[in-house]
Structures are given as structure tokens and as C-alpha cells.
Structure 1
Amino acid sequence: MSEFEDLRKRLGEVSALASTAGILEWDQQTHMPAGGAANRAAQLEVLSKITHELSVSSKTETLLAAAEKAADGLDPDSDDAAFVRVARRDFDHASKLPTELVAEIAKVTTLAHEAWAEARAASNYSKFAPCLENIVDLVRQVADHLGHSGERYDALLDQYEPGMKAADVRAMFDAIKPTSVALVKAIVERGPDAVDDSILKRDFDEAKQEAFGEAVIKELGFDFERGRQDRAVHPFCSSFTSGDVRITTRFDKNFLPMALFGTIHETGHALYEQGVARRYDGNTLGGGTSLGVHESQSRLWENLVGRSRPFWKHFYSSLQSTFPESLSDVDAERFYRAVNKVEPSLIRVEADEVTYNLHILLRFEMETDLLEGRLSVKDAPAAWNAKMQEYFGLTPPDDAQGILQDVHWSMGSLGYFPTYSLGNIISAQLFTQAQSDLGDLSGQIERGEFAPLLGWLRENIHQWGRKYTATELLQRITGKALDTAPYLQYLSAKYGDIYGL
């Protein structure tokens, strides 16, 4: 019907502008010289202003109302009905925010990224603190404009995981914490030498790491005809359409897991985006349905596949031949155990699966305190270090390994972090179902047959884009809402085996 096509055309223009801004943001983090930051901030400010004005204009509202009228009586499961439903949610959300605020955030966060990168390199929080002060103030304004029932975090989390609230996050942590804490305690009692990971800290040439990582993700299904990989200070994935999906990674020649698992993690995001139905390109239904579901894909490929024994039975001989000097005395089982060593650590993206969620809990607590004024930006490093000591028994030796390690706050992404833990839970729920549906999934992975799993994910999740909510997807696929049991069973079984518990 013309009403749907008219709205699609209008929102396609909004999408094109947003993608243009995304390309500029990608360029800033990968290739732009530092001297271009001020001009890039001005460019993104203007683009954000135009995009927002177009998305909330009276013409857009009129077209949306006409499409809603035309959709009345349609099968709610149809593409047209879903398109209108999602477009309404986006419009209502965007229309609550003043254009000036949206543009200001684009400018401030562009400059903040450069300040963060400089501060991290110098391990000097004071270089970034003024930007964070500004960002926290702007994000508070966003929350207040969007509306909430007393806790700003609810409004911000809803941007990433629609419908989820801070109380749900606390309930999630309450559900997984007892098993996780007991597991950590049992592992610690085995002693620090129960698993040796020193082999991961030998010399690994960066160029060889890069070549090996790209060979792995190509085998997993990443399409280099529709994607590319570059280097960045902090790994990320950017998608402009299903035909243009870009990932980044970073390297440490004396720590193999940094690039290897960072690459696989971002590939999980990229496989999702490359798998969205082509008919949704430039459409409101394009992209992932929520950040929790998105993170489930990255965590599934990184951990349930990439850190599994079958995975390394398949890939280890290739890795060993790539680094014969460093791995000639190491067999596949020893390597598998090394990449799964459980040990409190400073850096979130390199944390083991058992302690990882504590890193997220720390950030969630910090964000809620910052937003509600219980914690000042000035005092944040001390609070961070105190929580690291409380949860991990560690105190960061410097800001780079402490409060400056993540890029998200420079992007204004307060409210994002809980989706990592949510992704962990969803990943296990989905993987358990995939094992049931596919049969010998472990055998397929060991033989290097990744197409069945990727095909299952494409059929059940990727192709649908934003058509179904996270809860609807889980119900359709597993017959249940969010369920922590598969995740806790996975952790207990895997690490019980590794540590002989």
C-alpha cells in the first residue's frame, strides 16, 4: 500500500543520514588524524540535527498516522504491521528529545572520544573528567525528557533493551550471583596453579595474529565481501546495511587472547548484522532488535564456541603452525584450559566467563550512582578502585587499567553495560536450544562445520532484524522468556570439568 511505501521512503532518508553519521564515527575511530576532531564534531552535530528534525517532523508524523490507519486489521505478524509498530516506538522516543540536545550530544561525545583516547594513553583521568562531567549532565537530561518513574537508569536502559528496568537488572544479578560466587570460591580453593595461562603471554607476532584471526572468522561465516576489519583503541562493530558491516580489533604481541577473542566477539555482532534480511536494508526493521540479543551473538561465538574444547580441537593445529616457536611445547588441551583460566582480573574485555559479570555489576552500580548524584565525576576513580578491591581483591595500578579502560562513557552510552550480562544469559539459552535442534553440535564444531549453527541463528534470529522483540524471539525459539538456568548450568558444567569440581 502507498501509505507504507511513503513512510518507508521517509524513514529511509532518516536511515541514510544516520548511516552517513555512522561512517564518520567509524572513520574517527579507525583512520581520522587527531587534528580532525573539532571539524568532525561540527559535522556530526549538523548531521544529528538534520536527522532528528527529519525523524520528528510533522510530515513524518502525518505519514506515520496514515500508515497506522492502513495497518489496522493487518496480521500483527506481517512485515507491514511490524514496520509501523517499530516506527511508532522510534518516533515517540525521538519526539521527546529536543533537537538541540541531540545535536549537542553528538558534538560533545565526538570530542570526548578523542579526550578519552588521549587520557587512556597517558593513564590520566583528569584529561577526560571534564568531558565525562558534561556527558553525565547531558545523559541526565535525556533520561528526564524520556521520562521515568524515579530512576533515570530506567529511561536510559530502555534505549538499549526496550522495556527493561534497573530493577530487572538487579534481579538478574541476584539470580546469577550465588552460583557464580560459589564457583569462584571453589576454583580459588584449587590454587592459582591449577590452570597455567603463562603460555598465552609469550611472543606472538601481530601480523600473524591478524592473519590467523581473519582466517578463523572467515571460516565462521564472516563475509569479507560485505565487511572488513580494522584496528581501533577499543574493539567495536559498525553496521550501515547488511552489505556493509565493519569490525575492529586491537593487538598485544605478548597476550594472544586480546585480539583473538576480541575479533571473534565482534564477528558475532557482525554475523548478526550480515544476516538481517536484505528487504530490511535502510528500513526501520533493519539492525538488531536489542543490545541484549546483539551481545548474545557476540558472547555465543566468543565463549560458547570460541572458548570450547571442540573449537580448539579443530583450530589448534593451525594456530600451532602459525606460532611454532611459542606453542611447539603446548598441546590443544593445555591451550584450551589456558584460555579458560578463571582468575580475578583488571580488564573487562579479557575477563574469564565466571568473573565477567562482576565487571558489569561494577559498572552498573557506578552508572546509577553517577546519574543520581550519589557519586561525583571527580570521585569516580576512587570509587572504581574501591569496587575493584571489593569484587576482585585487586586495585588498578593506573587509570588506563581502571576507570579509563572502556570507551562507552565517552560515547554517552550510560545504560549499555547490563546488556553484556543479559547477552551471556541469552547466549546459553539459545545455544542449548541449538544443541537440541541440530543434534551433534559439538561434533560439527570439532569438524569445522560452522554453517549449521550459523544457519540456525540466521533462521531464528538474524533474518528478523527488529521485527520481534527480545522476549518474543526467546518465546518463539525456546518457548520460554529469559531463563538463567541454561547459563548457570553451562558455567557449572564447563568449569567443573576444567577444575575437577
Structure 2
Amino acid sequence: MNPQLDELKSRLREISALQNAAALLNWDQLTIMPPGGAEANGYQQSVLARIATEKSIDPALGKLIGDLLPYAETLPADSDDACLIRMAKYDFDKMIHVPPEFVGRAYEQIARTYQVWTEARPENNYAKVMPELEKNLELSRELASYYPNVEHVADPLIEDSDPGMKAAELQRLFAELRAELVPIVKAITSQPLADDACLKQHFPADQQLALGKRAAAAIGYDFNRGRMDLSPHPFTTRFSIGDVRITTRINENDLGESLFSVIHESGHALYEQGVNPALEGLPLARGASSGVHESQSRTWENIVGRSLPFWMHFYPELKANFPGKFDTVSLETFYRAINKVEPSLVRTESDEVTYNLHIMIRFDLELAMLEGKLALRDLPEAWNERYRSDLGITPPDDRMGCMQDVHWFGGFVGGGFQGYTLGNIMSAQFMESALKIHPEIPEEIAAGRFDVLRGWLTEKIYSQGRKFFPTELVRRVTGKDLEIAPYMRYLKNKYGALYEL
């Protein structure tokens, strides 16, 4: 026993409790809070965030961490305690630059901007939310200004989500990926489009929710430690390993919108529910990064949920859930429908092949906004122009354009999107490694058994929580640094077969 280590854990658990209480307020705001509670909710979130920040940068905490560093060197490098001390130092060194007053002010403003966005988006009224978005942008620049030796204004924001990544590295990685993706998109879209009419029938909301819950439970989401609700933008949040919640949204005229968002969010939740219980309450008891988290949601949504083996098992249940809707639709037709490749306006509903182009558009635009090269009054047209040039389509309005994603309106501008593409890349690299050890995984999935894959992911990724930085975790799991080759092999194999490329 080490009394100083016990004190460190006690302090960190208290900080985590405050952060989780703020997260609960945020969940309430995004799901069931009446509009009249917005102002008070935002203030409550800001107070908790400010107090948590004050405790996170307490000089006594910094001294305690410093005193424990020599002790950490005596422990196995991958032990829970050594990793905790190392990560506590990383967090303290980062947070010490940011004034608690700023954190409280930022949380209150972001909550206000989100509330205005929930009103402005259905109204297609960008002018209504733009003044609030301007404040979010100013806060984002202010946050970056607190950090010394910053190469790009976006780097501190990116670091918050994906430690170790910088704007320059992401630009290089995205350029490499884009060069591979564009020819595939052109080759597929030059052919007749897959018929997805079977997905565009009327599907009552209650039946969609029932099917989504069964799909989530089938892959392993534990409803005894979670729940599913509705929100304008699907998300996952955790308050503890025993309380991990997901949301979805329903389009009664599009089956795929909710179903695949449920599987996606369930992937996030499996990660959080799979963390080693010994880490509960500590800053290690969550995902390693945005990218690693997205690797799990995209693994379950796409590599599993849009695979032929998954539907060999689940298609009869889908047909039974919607009597008469799919009686004349073959499994092959359905499989092609859920993997239809077509340039689209909405990121969350886009196919695997074009998805990353949506991310690159957003990433480039937010860099331009942060750099002051793109004024917010010009954002709608800049957005539309990128969609015309990159995907050959033009949003009919701002609701389907620059207001479609919550990220800039419900958080800082910057650092919120790159994780999706990093996650896509990681998902294929992780799956390749899993299949080398367990080549039977596709057969297991076709039989409706997910224990082998989920067990491997739990052992290698979920149980580790945030013990390791993303780059180290990728090397530990796959034996290699992050690379796009496995992802491109996955896309070419799957869509090459589907479209006879």
C-alpha cells in the first residue's frame, strides 16, 4: 500500500464524480430536458466543470503526482498504477494551462449555443444560431491560446480528442487516404446504383426501436447497465462502467437511419461497459481517444453490422419484425441495399466508401474557420461549394448543409471530426489482427454468436480503458503503427465483390 497513491486515487475519483455529474446534466439536456430548463442547466454544467477544473489543477495534486513518478518507475510499465500516474501527469500538465473561469464560461456558452441550434436547425435558420456559433469559435481560439508552442491553432483541440495527433499529420494522412478513395468512388458510381427501395418504406417508430434494442442486445450491449433514448443527434455517454447510455433518432421512412445508428452507438457502449471494473472512478476508466472509440462503433456498425454474415443470421428477425415488408426482397438484394454507394448530403447516413470525404470537408472547413480564413457568414456557401466539388451534390438548404452536425454547435470548433476517419482506419487494422487469431469470426457471426469477437476486443482494447495512448495501443494490439493499408484492403475486398471492380 502506498498512502500517496491512495490519496491520488481519492482526488481523481472526486474529479471524475464531478465530471460525470456534469455529463448527466448534458445527457438530460440532449434527451428529455424541457426547453425552459436550458439556462439553468447550462449554468449548472458550467459550475461543475469549473469546480472539476479547479480540483484538476490544484498545486497539491501536481506535487502529489510529481512525488509518485519515482514510485511509478518501480512498477511494471503496463500495470494499472503505473499507467494511472503517467496519465494523471499528462492530464495535469495539459489542464494547468487552462483557467477554471474559462472552462465554466465555455460550458455555459456551449450549452446555450446547442439549445439555439436545436431550434434553428428545424427552422433552417442559420442566421439565428450564427452569433452563438461565433462565440463557440472565439472560445475555441481562446482555448488554443492558453497552450505554449502550438504549431497550429487546431492542435490543442485535436489533442483533447486524439492525443498525439496534430493538424499537419492529419492533413498528410487524409491526403493519402483521399488519393485512394476517389478512384474507388468514381469506379462504383459510374455503375448503376444499387436498389435500396426496400429501406425507404414506412417503418413505425415503435417497431424500429424494438428491432434496434434487439440488435444492440444481440451484439452484447447490457441494458442492465444502460438504456436507449431519443435525441436530435445520436450519441453515447457514460456516467460509470455500470451506467452507459445510448440514443438514436427515428426516420419512419428510412429503416437504416436508426438501425445502424443504434449498432454504431452500441459499439461505443460495448467499449465503455467492457472497461476493467478495477479502473472504475479513475481517469483510466474510459476510452483511449476519439479515434479508438470510433474504431469500435464503426467495427460493429460496418464491418459487422453491414456484413453478409450478420444478415445471414439477423435477416429472418428483421422480416418477422416488419411483416410483409421484405417478403419479396432477397437477402442479396437487402445486402446490396444497406451497402449502396452514392454521394449523399448527410454524413451520418453516408456509405462506407464516401463517408471519409464528409469528414475531410468538415476538417478542412474548421481549420479555415480557426485560422480566420473563413468567416462564419460565408460558411454555408463554403460548405455547399465543397459538396459540389467533392461529391457532386449541393445541399438544398442549411439544415441539410452546415447545420446538420451537432459538433460545432454543441462543443468547440475543432477536434471533433478527425476521430471518425481515424476510427475507420483503426477498425480495419484491429479486425485484421482479430481474424489472424480467430479466423472463425465470420462463421460465428453468421450463427448469431458474437462472443469470440467481443471477447477479443474486450481483452485487447475495452478492458484497457485509457491506460495507453492511442499510438501505443495500436502497436500493442496489431504489432504495427497506424496504417491505411488494412482499411483499403477491407474496402476493396468488400466493394470489389459487390460491384465487380
Length-normalised TM-score, structure 2: 0.98
Equivalent residue number for residue 351 of structure 1: 350
Contact 2:164 2:471 in 1 (8 A): no
Equivalent residue number for residue 96 of structure 1: 97
Can you give the 5+ residue segments of structure 1 that lack an aligned partner in the other structure?
none
Equivalent residue number for residue 71 of structure 1: 72
Equivalent residue number for residue 481 of structure 1: 481
* Aligned counterparts of 1:50 and 1:184: Cα–Cα separation in 2: 49
Deviation at 1:355, TM superposition (A): 0.3
* Aligned counterparts of 1:190 and 1:378: Cα–Cα separation in 2: 38
TM-aligned CA distance change 1:345 to 1:470, over 3 Å = same
- SS of 2:192's equivalent in the other structure is coil
* Aligned counterparts of 1:20 and 1:60: Cα–Cα separation in 2: 21
Deviation at 1:148, TM superposition (A): 4.3
Equivalent residue number for residue 316 of structure 1: 315
Equivalent residue number for residue 125 of structure 2: 124
Contact 1:3 1:70 in 2 (8 A): no
- SS of 2:234's equivalent in the other structure is coil
- SS of 1:239's equivalent in the other structure is strand
**C-alpha root-mean-square deviation of aligned residues, in Å?**
1.0
Output the amino acid matched with 2:182: V
Can you give the 5+ residue segments of structure 2 that lack an aligned partner in the other structure?
none
Identity of aligned residues (%): 46
- SS of 2:229's equivalent in the other structure is strand
* 1:199-348 aligned within 5 A: 199-348=198-347
- SS of 1:247's equivalent in the other structure is strand
Contact 2:200 2:253 in 1 (8 A): yes
Deviation at 1:79, TM superposition (A): 1.4
* Aligned counterparts of 1:148 and 1:132: Cα–Cα separation in 2: 27
- SS of 2:239's equivalent in the other structure is strand
Equivalent residue number for residue 39 of structure 1: 40
Deviation at 1:397, TM superposition (A): 0.6
* Aligned counterparts of 1:378 and 1:316: Cα–Cα separation in 2: 47
- CA deviation profile, 1:382-427 (whole Å, cap 9, x unmatched): 1111111111111111111111111111122421201100000000
Equivalent residue number for residue 425 of structure 1: 425
* Aligned counterparts of 1:196 and 1:494: Cα–Cα separation in 2: 18
- SS of 1:326's equivalent in the other structure is coil
* Aligned counterparts of 2:74 and 2:46: Cα–Cα separation in 1: 41
Deviates further, 475-484 or 367-376: 475-484
Deviates further, 438-447 or 62-71: 62-71
Deviates further, 365-374 or 328-337: 328-337
* Aligned counterparts of 1:40 and 1:13: Cα–Cα separation in 2: 21
* 1:156-175 aligned within 5 A: 156-175=157-176
Output the amino acid matched with 2:259: L
Deviation at 1:39, TM superposition (A): 0.7
1:61 matches 2:62: yes
Contact 1:345 1:392 in 2 (8 A): yes
- CA deviation profile, 1:15-54 (whole Å, cap 9, x unmatched): 0000000000001111100111011111111111111111
* Aligned counterparts of 1:397 and 1:129: Cα–Cα separation in 2: 19
* Aligned counterparts of 1:491 and 1:181: Cα–Cα separation in 2: 12
1:461 matches 2:445: no
* Aligned counterparts of 1:149 and 1:105: Cα–Cα separation in 2: 21
* Aligned counterparts of 2:189 and 2:364: Cα–Cα separation in 1: 25
Length-normalised TM-score, structure 1: 0.98
Output the amino acid matched with 2:156: A
Equivalent residue number for residue 494 of structure 2: 494
* 1:127-142 aligned within 5 A: 127-142=128-143
- SS of 2:228's equivalent in the other structure is strand
